[in-house]
Amino acid sequence: PGQLWEHVASLVQQNGGDRSKLGAPQILDNYAAISARHAQNVEKLSAAFAVLYAGLSPEQKQAADALFRSSSDKKAEARKHAD
């Protein structure tokens, strides 16, 4: 397990860099870049899912809608308790 942890830590450092030498503006810039990439990936997923969703039966659409609503409701509830 120790070697696996070292490998994971190494990858995190390679991907995230050493933030101890960054100032607040650079950290925010990094966060903005990560958020932008995340948004682009969600847009790609959303477009692909729309095609899939269009081919679902009404029952399958209803199940997918319920699943996504449930997930969204849980996240909203968690945010409400975090405040």
Spatial separation of the C-alpha atoms in residues 33 and 36, rounded to whole Å? 5
pLDDT at residue 13 greater than cutoff 90: no
- Residue pLDDT, tens place only, 38-78: 999 999 999 999 999 999 999 999 999 999 898 876 766 66
Residue that is written with structure tokens 């809608």 in the block: 65
pTM > 0.95: no
- Please name which of 55, 53, 75, 54 lies closest in space to residue 64, comparing C-alpha atoms: 53
Please give the pLDDT value at position 1.
66
- Residue pLDDT, tens place only, 14-36: 666 666 778 889 889 988 999 99
Please give the pLDDT value at position 3.
81
Q: Residue 83 carries which DSSP code?
A: -
Please give the pLDDT value at position 2.
75
Spatial separation of the C-alpha atoms in residues 68 and 18, rounded to whole Å? 36
